[in-house]
């Protein structure tokens, strides 16, 4: 029997037209005139509150002195165990952002450190929500996803508002935006034209007693389920028929994209984790030139209240939870960059920007369980071919007692919305004068200089 969920997947276009089923209406897959050179913004949420002070660590100077004095020994990383970020030796990178467990800090840089050296990774310090504070994951994540710090009283997410206010967007074959998640991400709230999938291969009708896309030539008149759906809508007229046909075409087009057979380019090696698979799917969709302009992904597991771990570079047998998480992120992002930058279609990464944010940082001191509790200020990262990388942006809030927020946290000196706003203006050709439509109350446009025009 076909399940209700499967029926909605296949036939919901008419319902979505009246906003009854969010995230399931589709553009005309036969549309022409789309701009295949459009930019794409990728919003990668590091859900759970990553400890940014465990990723970008002071390695000398007054900040290092304060770090040594306040950080709990169970999460303090010696300066000799860091990969150098700047020529002055003031800042270092967690070693697993640039190498395997057994690699020494002086080994050839991999992944995020490699992108940093290539000037394709920018790091913003003191990032967060200066106008609102919550150490609740639920509240802080919602505020950030909605783009309205301090308020959840909105019916739309920031990406939805951007797509609504933007002009000159390409005509999308499938959708202008993909949300790689099990449920509709809050950044896409109110968007009836978004695909929401955990992975691209899952978007198929799976409730029939025969396969969605398989036709068995050994069985007379055996056809895949999608052919039956097409026949149903071919006999329908009016709005219902029109939307049904469009849905069937979109489903067919997704079916025809061979996600499981995809071969990455440029030697890119995606990790075999959820994020790696999703970023591989996204790279393939971008290469299809379907008019995609935005995507959102999650990479969780950063709520490290205990057993956060600290690295022992050069020791291949050492277990480091945070390091494992960071390596998974670093591998996926670098593979995505390499795959698109070295594509046979040209350097597609010149028009793709990946913005990595987390809802808050962690407390500076650390706790007795060798972990860190919910904090405030954090780091953000941006990767792209049109990024002014290899630089630290923003003002580091300071680790001395006079600078700590509420005597325990890094402060916030850069509103996270400034990063997204600059990406929209410089890369997505959005009008700076209309930013308040996307981020209500953001104020005047003040770019950091992270993105190239």
What are the pLDDT digits (tens) for 169-221?
A: 998 888 899 999 988 999 999 998 888 888 877 665 544 555 555 666 777 77
User: Average model confidence (pLDDT) for the chain?
Assistant: 88
Asked if residue 443 lies in contact with residue 433, where contact means CB atoms within 8 angstroms, the answer is no
The 3-state DSSP composition of the chain as helix, strand, coil percent (nearest 5) reads: 35, 15, 55
Q: How far apart are CA 333 and CA 335, in angstroms?
A: 5
Element containing residue 124 per DSSP (H, E) = strand 121-128
Neighbouring-strand partners of residue 350: none
Confidence at residue 257, expressed as pLDDT on a 0 to 100 scale: 76
Task: Count the neighbouring beta carbons within 10 Å of the beta carbon of residue 54.
Answer: 26
| Nearest in space to 283 (alpha carbons), one of 420, 414, 180, 130 | 180
Confidence at residue 287, expressed as pLDDT on a 0 to 100 scale: 93
Q: How far is CA 210 from the centre of its chain?
A: 35
Confidence at residue 220, expressed as pLDDT on a 0 to 100 scale: 76
Q: How far apart are CA 287 and CA 427, in angstroms?
A: 18
| Average pLDDT estimate for 143-152 | 98
Confidence at residue 23, expressed as pLDDT on a 0 to 100 scale: 35
pLDDT cut 90: percent of the chain above it: 74
Whether 405 shows a pLDDT value over 50: the answer reads yes
Q: Band of the pLDDT at 255, cuts 50, 70, 90?
A: low
Q: Band of the pLDDT at 249, cuts 50, 70, 90?
A: low
Task: Count the neighbouring beta carbons within 10 Å of the beta carbon of residue 217.
Answer: 6
Confidence at residue 34, expressed as pLDDT on a 0 to 100 scale: 35
**Does pTM surpass 0.85?**
yes
Domains of the chain, first to last: 25-205+269-438 (3.40.720.10)
Q: How far apart are CA 17 and CA 10, in angstroms?
A: 14
Per-residue model confidence as pLDDT tens digits over 69-90? 999 999 999 999 999 999 999 9
Confidence at residue 201, expressed as pLDDT on a 0 to 100 scale: 72
35's CB contacts (< 8 A; 6+ apart) are 168, 170, 291
- The residue length of the chain stands at 453
What one-character-per-residue DSSP string does 329-391 give? HHHHHHHHHHHHHTBTTB-GGGGEEEEEE-S--B-SS--TTS---B-S-EEEEEEETTB--S-
Asked if residue 424 lies in contact with residue 41, where contact means CB atoms within 8 angstroms, the answer is yes
User: Of 6-15, 16-25, 49-58, 238-247, which one has max mean pLDDT?
Assistant: 49-58
Confidence at residue 192, expressed as pLDDT on a 0 to 100 scale: 87
Whether 302 shows a pLDDT value over 90: the answer reads yes
Which three-class secondary structure state does DSSP give residue 164?
A: helix
Q: Band of the pLDDT at 26, cuts 50, 70, 90?
A: very low
322's CB contacts (< 8 A; 6+ apart) are 51, 54, 94, 96, 304, 308, 309, 310
Maximum Cα interatomic distance, the chain, rounded to a whole number of Å: 79
Asked if residue 98 lies in contact with residue 78, where contact means CB atoms within 8 angstroms, the answer is no
Confidence at residue 193, expressed as pLDDT on a 0 to 100 scale: 86
Whether 443 shows a pLDDT value over 90: the answer reads yes
Confidence at residue 385, expressed as pLDDT on a 0 to 100 scale: 98
């Amino acid at each position: 029997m076909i399940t209700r969920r499967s029926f909605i997947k296949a036939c919901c276009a008419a319902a979505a037209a009246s906003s009854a089923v969010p995230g399931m209406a589709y553009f005309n897959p036969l549309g022409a005139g789309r701009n295949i050179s459009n930019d794409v913004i990728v919003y990668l949420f590091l859900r759970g509150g990553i400890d940014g002070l465990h990723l970008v660590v002071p390695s000398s100077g007054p900040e290092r002195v304060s770090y040594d004095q306040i950080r709990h020994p169970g999460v303090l990383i010696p300066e000799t165990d860091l990969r150098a970020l700047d020529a002055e030796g003031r800042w270092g990178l967690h070693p697993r952002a640039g190498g395997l467990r057994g690699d020494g800090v002086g080994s050839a840089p991999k992944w995020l450190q490699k992108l940093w050296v290539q000037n394709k990774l920018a790091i913003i310090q003191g990032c967060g929500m200066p106008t609102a504070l919550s150490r609740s994951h639920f509240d802080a994540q919602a505020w950030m996803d909605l783009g309205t710090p301090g308020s959840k009283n909105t019916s739309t997410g920031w990406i939805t508002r951007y797509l609504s206010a933007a002009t000159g967007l390409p005509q999308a074959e499938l959708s202008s935006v993909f949300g790689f998640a099990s449920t509709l991400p809050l950044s896409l709230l109110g968007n009836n034209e978004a695909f929401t999938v955990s992975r691209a291969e899952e978007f198929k009708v799976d409730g029939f007693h025969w396969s969605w896309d398989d036709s068995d030539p050994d069985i007379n008149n055996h056809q895949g389920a999608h052919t039956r759906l097409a026949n149903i809508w071919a006999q329908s007229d009016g709005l219902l028929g029109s939307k049904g046909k469009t849905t069937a075409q979109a489903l067919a087009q997704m079916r025809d994209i061979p996600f499981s057979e995809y071969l990455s380019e440029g030697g890119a090696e995606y990790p075999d984790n959820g994020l790696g698979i999703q970023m591989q799917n996204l790279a393939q969709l971008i290469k299809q030139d379907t008019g995609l302009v935005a995507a959102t992904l999650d990479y969780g597991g950063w709520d490290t209240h205990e057993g956060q771990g600290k690295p022992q570079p050069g020791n291949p047998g050492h277990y480091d939870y945070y390091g494992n998480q960071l390596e998974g992120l670093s591998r996926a992002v670098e593979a995505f960059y390499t795959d698109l930058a070295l594509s046979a279609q040209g350097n597609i990464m010149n028009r793709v920007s990946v913005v990595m944010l987390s809802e808050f940082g962690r407390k500076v001191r650390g706790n007795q369980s060798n972990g860190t509790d919910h904090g405030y200020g954090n780091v953000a990262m941006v990767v792209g071919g049109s990024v002014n990388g290899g630089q630290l942006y923003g003002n580091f809030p300071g680790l001395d007692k006079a600078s700590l927020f509420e005597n325990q946290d890094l402060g916030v000196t850069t509103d996270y919305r400034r990063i997204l706003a600059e990406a929209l203006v410089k890369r997505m050709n959005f009008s700076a004068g209309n930013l308040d439509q996307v981020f209500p109350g953001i104020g005047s446009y003040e770019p950091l200089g992270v993105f190239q025009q």
